[in-house]
Structure 1
């Protein structure tokens, strides 16, 4: 029998949409949880195949998209928070909406904010919990990484013994957490040809979680990820169960990779660019291992998965292409720069920065981004957003000529400027912070070029 609170919460979402106050992706869940605090757990128990909760600083949205492609191929009716509302309220909203569907979904797939994961895990009791990475994100959250590690440690210790923990062996903090649980599937990258020569200055977790000694690396991939070891206490990267053993980076066109699993190899040509998406693919394959999905489904599912909102999403703007590469922290921005540099043509780039709550009000992280390799390749540079002038200063002090920097805070005018600067048939790369991406997306929606985010299924 449907709980009366569910009807009230559903009505709140309908009213929100009709009044133009948003997509109703969180409000129904907020209302329902206020009236019935354990509602998410109650609704999740109706999922006969259980659920997966995926969390990370970078990559959770795309990984959820990849897993969705796999379970769709397996024919599993699935509920997911595809609109990106990744707090407990957003997950509850998705579950509430699914409870009204016929036939009802049998499986739940949720991307979850790092800080919200413990609460979501306690309510949903997921079949699989995925810990992908932890990077510094918002500088105004002092001690954020350490706090999250502590919260995740408590959550891991409270997991049901039947829950499978999928974890990144290449992230020292995440791997150490995984060692606390019995049922674990570890993933990582073993492709030495894409390794970095040294840690970037923006690397975060570079000390041993056991003894606090500096870590040594035999191979470095992204930020602090890689083949890590502590020469002081002997703690070291555990051997992954699922590993990317070969990957070819093809710039904005995507990647070609082979992922080794205990059941055999999975090969795919993906439309998603960058080494970070090789990690996302490995995480998705590791989830498939935990769910015991047919191995033959996985390669085609990876190959047909499209980009999530703002994550290597492509938009046609007249006779130019716009590529959206969300850049919300130093590690993510550096990987996007690395991807853009694989384009052999002169580069037309928009970098956009806001300082709203979801971005973090301390924007000094832009000084940790390695923008300089772009300079010799730039055909045009437009900086935009609330903190456009901070970006201009960053590029100026990096050595880029001031007279070549176009400062245009307005996202629509910035887009028009960059599109006009690109040659016919050319490509514009947009590297926005989170709310700057939302602002640009609103412009694209108004122009009829993309659907509203809550319609993007």
Structure 2
């Protein structure tokens, strides 16, 4: 009876939230379900015939999970997922309750796989509750310091979670991130490693804001033969001889295209090549991570390529809309490594850009916004036609931009709707407005733009 009550309450709360347009029913239903039945996640997860996959990391979780879902469906499996990005335990509970019948059973459970995006700090709870087949790690960057603490603390939390996995679980790791690659030492079961081999997009030195400069084994300073972005690259420790591990899933070629990226990936016994509507090297890593997880699940190359070819961008992650005759692209950025790569990507062609930056400091963003001083906003110098800043910390962003050496100061408008209208007016009809928000600002601006563009709410998309 407790299970039935929990699922019924979750379904009712989700329906009411969506009907009243106060949200997508992705968090509150899960909170209610867990309050009524604290064991709902582990009990229902055991009914998933194909088990579950956890996708975690600082950047790229939502896009990587979305890519993986497409591959899984192309392989003929059905998916349960927290597809709207609610990545705490409440989001997992809500997703399970939404997909189940009132009795807690799943239709076609034998061919059902859970693909769950999981918050970095929530990983230990998720591992205990889900007992996943695969845990995929994307990267580890400084993010929300007031919530997570320094990257070393997050790495320690992840090591404990990996150590607690069963021997049947496969851990999928990014070879190019020293902090992530080091998790192999804690894994009791199989480890599958992925990395980028195409060095044509790399540079020969670390960025000033890099988060992994020191060897996790001996504390010595790491050396890099190639740096792709942040601290991701081909690394080694001259002091203890630790080094980037060999990868089983490899990006052999990464080529920028007009509005996306083409990636060639070598996997055991096969190669896939796909063009995706995602710009930037960081998105090549997301594709590579999803393919590596597919390999860990035993999905073949044909299904993998077919699944990738049907991909569309997730809400706020390079999502494209048309508003008032202008093209708009919304690109979430929430930490120095991520925003640096976004700026580098959109300015790579040297053309004049129209940009709107939204900075919030709500709990989901992190209250401490000092990270913006580690962002290389000078990348915009000489390449911006119009620049608007907004959000509840708009003036902090305006101050930071004053010291970036730009040709002119930004227009400041704290109200999101007014800021978007101002930015759209300043954007020529044949140009693209790049909207770059932090997380909670993204939810607000995406809702406004979707309404103006007559697009569905984010929780209604795949």
The two structures have a TM-score, normalised by structure 1, of 0.96
Residue pair 2:53, 2:115 contacting (<8 A) in 1 also: yes
* Partner Cα separation in structure 1 for residue 37 and residue 250 of structure 2: 42
Partner residue, 1:125: 131
Residue pair 1:164, 1:185 contacting (<8 A) in 2 also: yes
Deviations 1:69-124 (A, max 9, x none): 11111121111111111111101110111112644561111111011111011111
**1:46 counterpart = 2:47:** yes
Partner residue, 1:284: 290
2:439 alignment partner, one of 412, 434, 440: 434
Within 5 Å, give how 1:297-446 maps onto structure 2. 297-402=303-408, 404-446=409-451
Partner residue, 1:57: 58
Residue pair 1:248, 1:256 contacting (<8 A) in 2 also: yes
Partner residue, 2:154: 148
* Partner Cα separation in structure 2 for residue 268 and residue 197 of structure 1: 28
Partner residue, 1:175: 181
Deviations 1:331-357 (A, max 9, x none): 110110111013453211111111111
* Partner Cα separation in structure 2 for residue 399 and residue 344 of structure 1: 17
Residue pair 1:270, 1:303 contacting (<8 A) in 2 also: yes
* Partner Cα separation in structure 2 for residue 237 and residue 46 of structure 1: 38
* Partner Cα separation in structure 2 for residue 359 and residue 230 of structure 1: 34
Within 5 Å, give how 1:92-103 maps onto structure 2. 92-100=93-101, 102-103=107-108
Secondary structure (helix, strand or coil) at the match of 1:447 reads helix
Residue pair 1:319, 1:426 contacting (<8 A) in 2 also: no
Partner residue, 1:248: 255
What's the CA shift for 1:236?
1.1
What's the CA shift for 1:11?
2.9
* Bigger shift: residues 312-321 or 18-27: 18-27
Partner residue, 1:264: 270
1:234 alignment partner, one of 223, 227, 241: 241
* Partner Cα separation in structure 1 for residue 238 and residue 244 of structure 2: 12
* Partner Cα separation in structure 2 for residue 132 and residue 435 of structure 1: 22
Is there any run of 5+ residues in structure 2 with no aligned partner, and where?
none
Deviations 1:185-218 (A, max 9, x none): 1011111100023111111021111111111111
* Partner Cα separation in structure 2 for residue 366 and residue 344 of structure 1: 23
What's the CA shift for 1:19?
4.2
Secondary structure (helix, strand or coil) at the match of 1:179 reads helix
Partner residue, 2:192: 185
* Partner Cα separation in structure 1 for residue 178 and residue 220 of structure 2: 12
Residue pair 2:211, 2:231 contacting (<8 A) in 1 also: yes
How many positions carry a matched residue from both structures? 455
Moved over 6 A (4+): none
Partner residue, 1:447: 452
* Bigger shift: residues 416-425 or 432-441: 416-425
* Bigger shift: residues 319-328 or 6-15: 6-15
Residue pair 2:323, 2:452 contacting (<8 A) in 1 also: no
Residue pair 1:315, 1:449 contacting (<8 A) in 2 also: no
* Partner Cα separation in structure 2 for residue 262 and residue 17 of structure 1: 44
Residue pair 1:244, 1:259 contacting (<8 A) in 2 also: yes
* Bigger shift: residues 312-321 or 342-351: 342-351
Deviations 1:109-142 (A, max 9, x none): 1111011111011111111111111100113237
Partner residue, 2:13: 12
* Partner Cα separation in structure 2 for residue 228 and residue 189 of structure 1: 12
Partner residue, 2:231: 224
* Partner Cα separation in structure 2 for residue 446 and residue 426 of structure 1: 21
